[in-house]
Amino acid sequence: MTLIDKDLQSIQEVRLLIRKAKKAQKILAGYSQTQIDTICQAVSEATYGQREKLAKMAHEETGFGIWQDKVIKNTFASQSVYEYIKDMKTVGVIEEDLEKKITEIAVPMGVIAGLIPSTNPTSTVIYKALISLKAGNSIVFSPHPNALKAIIATVEIIKAALEKVGAPTDCVSVMTLPTMQGTQELMTNRDTNLILATGGNAMVRAAYSSGTPAIGVGPGNGPAYIERSANVKLAVQRIMDSKTFDNGTICASEQSIIVEEVNKQAVHDELIKQGAYFLTSAESEKLSKFILRPNGTMNPQIVGRSVQHIAEIAGLNLPQGCRLIVAEETNVGHQYPYSREKLAPIIAFYTVENWQAACELSVKILEGEGVGHTMTIHTENREVIRAFGLQKPVSRLLVNTPAALGGIGGTTDLVPALTLGCGTVGGSSTSDNIGPQHLFNIRRVAYGTRELSEIREAANQCATATNSQFSLSDEALIETLVTQILAKLQ
């Protein structure tokens, strides 16, 4: 009897997939913009046509979320993302400045490793495939084992669309034997040119330490501040819509509500009216033990689960029709589960005196977890919005919108994306919503516009001017020098 090592099989599969992806990408690199656009349109139409089937598959396989909401996610990935990128220039000359004599040329990165989470499996595959193909790249997916069937089915639909338009089908592929060792090989292989990492903290950290350039996503933990001038009914509706969407599986979703003493009761009453339930102290203590595992990470038993399922495993008796679980909290920190990221219909509730205190509390929450990601403010006060925009350590400050859909560009005009950069403060290489523009290099062709002799002459004249004008104030002298240098170089 022959024993087969699954890890070795996985590594070998990855090497073969990368080899084929590299070969396919070389063909793709020779395509015109029209050909690339035809491919993207075909993938968009094919995946949109199967949006409901894929949503149901993802829900049935993982147990996460609400399949009807996953249909919306698949629609967003296949249509909204496509509509945004379809007219982008991503092949050949993308910009030409005749005055400065600089031409910019898009150069595909090559083979991309796409890490796919179990919370948003099918939509993330569609999105990453589209933006990678639009930039002229191949992509090899590392699927979360808990969503393997749904992810493979999505890739098969994409490959069929590629074949239909005569494109190399190996430019989109997926590991069928996912293991940690196989994923490690995918990330560190010398023919992998970039990693698009969406997943748990450990996986994102592994991507950044792999030695391969990576674009990763840090954890979300966005507060939602309802300032005293806000329309309470609308603010609560938006938070409820967002936090209950797909049972809270989008990382941009709200994780805590911050209110002021003056509007606390109004917000409290409106939350209950719209289907929220405030836990008693005893219930809050009971549920807190199920939010995190002993190692401090999120408990997968609650991720993307319904309120009823969470109540059942925690032994809580919640009212019929409850849509959101609310826990009043005063503390912030790693040891306080309600102040952490909870990809479930559970949210913390904080009360402060005024917007300045809300500002401080928001920073404290984000610095505990979620720094660089997203937060939301509901207000009609533009001065408060400006103050928050200047001070909050986030890449997206959303105003009067549901965070889950606003952060990804669904209810805002941000770039439609399912990979949201958190900036260097959040351990990411960018603070942008990721699109095709992040997946190609730019080669610049620059013509000479001045000679060294001209630069020397300008420098000499500036030195002479300095000696003759040293009686001027420092500020006046600097201004004179800058003016003279610019005049010589023009």
- Catalytic positions, written as ranges: 251
Assign 143 to helix, strand or coil: strand
Nearest to 282 by CA among 312, 247, 254, 317: 317
List the beta bridge partners of residue 254: 222
Rounded to the nearest angstrom, the gap between the alpha carbon of residue 409 and the centroid of all alpha carbons in its chain is 10
- The Cα–Cα gap between 188 and 182 comes to 10
Q: Tokens 């929220």 map to which residue?
A: 276
Contact present, 330 and 352 (Cβ < 8 Å): no
Contact present, 378 and 235 (Cβ < 8 Å): yes
Integer CA distances (angstroms), 367 to 206, 220, 352, 402, in order: 22, 11, 18, 22
Contact present, 190 and 16 (Cβ < 8 Å): no
In 329-400 the beta strands, taken as DSSP E runs, fall at 346-352, 372-378, 394-399
Q: Tokens 């656009």 map to which residue?
A: 37
Count CB-CB contacts under 10 A for residue 265.
11
Nearest to 412 by CA among 376, 365, 452: 376
**Token pair for 284:** 């809050």
**Token pair for 352:** 């402060």
Dihedral pair phi/psi, residue 179, rounded to 5°? -135, 165
Query: What's the DSSP call for residue 293?
Result: -
- The Cα–Cα gap between 322 and 244 comes to 11
H/E segment holding residue 254: strand 254-260
Contacts with 335 (C-beta within 8 Å, 6 or more apart), sequence order: none
Angle at 93 between CA 92 and CA 96, to 5 degrees: 175
